[in-house]
Structure 1
């Protein structure tokens, strides 16, 4: 007998708008969406709350196996669930081994078994050692391939130089895959000042805008030569939007993401000696932040993802807060959806746009099946946005290490009542998440 129930909301985000809706859910799948409320529904959403689809976060570092002391499948997916993220795609590094071969993917899948609170898929990596063999990993089920244009920060995941980047793009274009790129230029960063310092302004100067611009230009030129589909990761510098606009106008198959910490945090407010804010590329100034919001509004930036990249407190606070020594990464998978839902009204943005950027768009661009929105045929991955203020306490977040750039930030709302395939996830959800593979 089918397991079915109905959910009725006075306000729900679906079909690109906010309006009343009643959902019918059968065996975890949405089978009907009606544009009205049903008083006798099995689940009634409070009149002051808004029903949302679960977020699809396609940029998450879970680091297992090998660096599980940084994060792991159990802790990372519990944090995702608590923040309304019901699907994550796991990055191919900082695990050991990195996901650069079918055997490494098998090791990662074995490590994930029985630990997932949300649904999860895998990225592969493109490194010098596996060029010419990327299709094997594609056939094993990864969503695409990540590469770096400068050292990644871990020795076992090497960057691609310009020749290798062209080879990777040519190979991936041959089987219709996707390359996702961390685009910063090593030479530009090497030439910048990088003093041992706790001052955020010194760290910011060590990762100049020009490093992103030069690498983005290289990526676009190589796309033009090869026809490869490419996604630019974590755009930080709004100055790169001019290059993106030209590439998209040319018809190149380019998509772009940015992150909540670039859209909601600003360099002017970051205290010195606070490595929890360090990420690469860096959080830049308020003017840059506003230009990124404009880039989203214009469709130059396609999606918003967290780039959840945690580590241990010892790695974050190495050398007493010296920002040149600290690991670079913001732990944000539990907070990112909340931060964007909270910030959107101040930027004249409706919640339907946040859903487009953080649920519908990631699922569509990356080919995540049956995810990304409240729609017939999609999994009933749902969350409620409730106007209950909250102040983030890093120690109370679900990810493994209690370090977060969001600590102490107050938001006007809270994500509650998260459901995965119709099942309500509690504070300590059962590990009922599933592996997913591209459509």
Structure 2
């Protein structure tokens, strides 16, 4: 962890930095009154303010926090202005006498406490009041009958939007016919430790669940990466990758490997639910892979992502007809159809054409309407923007309007339509409004019942 300590090198700050460095952390003590650009340039994950030693002003530190999203721990005594500030902001406060020892022994706990308070303030601002989003854990899958429809893009954008609106999110990449791209969507570079269900499967089977209430024990390895939040957003977002190396899906041993990876996937989803996370699955479209098939089967809600042209309609109709034959109309309770990249087609026309194709394949009338959503084609080349790894996750389209990013106007309709799509399962987010300008207009199509 990269820690910047504001205080004297020969004082409490130096002691803190030395203790943390001995534990393997990158700890940097900074004396005096530093320009904020210096602190921002360090990209700290934790900022420790030693009140009796620092020459920094509170407003300067607040600017650094806004630009870096760092957690804060204050070392201060009662009556000090820094103590009052940290208390009001709900940052952890340590006494100067034991600060070095407590940081060394409780660092992870203190950082999580600081981040929890930061998220609470962020949500209060986002919802314009003391509203905390409460959601039951659920598993949401994104799949479809063909590649290139935007399944992974929608899964990433849905995860980012929900996380930015206060829902704890755990993303699992279950693509199994190519290298998964969730790692790339969320900008987890070479400096990040990325865990993969396929790598875990290569090492052995998942631990057995204990009887009754699932209780992960000390033997359960870490198998997720915390995704850093972009500027202006505070979230709790985890990611577990799928296929990271294409060689993993080749050869005669790939079948057993993917079967074991599917077991790890189910183990991970169960673990996520036990910790209160909503799971987003990039399920892919390979029904011959145990990994993708398990992801499709364990989803509580499955978004089938289609393109509006004829090949997309026919492929989607074949899938829906196959589901109907295997599971009957009750299966449609957990299926939602999403037409992605829509230019000018009427939503009513797309639904009608899809229904006609399904009924033609089945040679019978469907007893109920198809639940369909429409997402507009983005006016900006988001794929090109995301190819530049220096841009960061704030260039996910769903976050543009929320953070007033460079492409906020071009992505407003898409972001609003995505929010409307998810609001069926998360009603509170429909009312969420940030202190920034709320996007207006956009494409809104009702569910077809």
TM-score by length of 1: 0.32
* Structure with more of its chain in helix, by fraction: 2
Going by fraction, where is strand more abundant, 1 or 2? 1
- TM-score, normalised to structure 2, is 0.31
Larger Rg: 2
Q: Which has the higher contact order (CA 8 A, sep 6+)?
A: 1
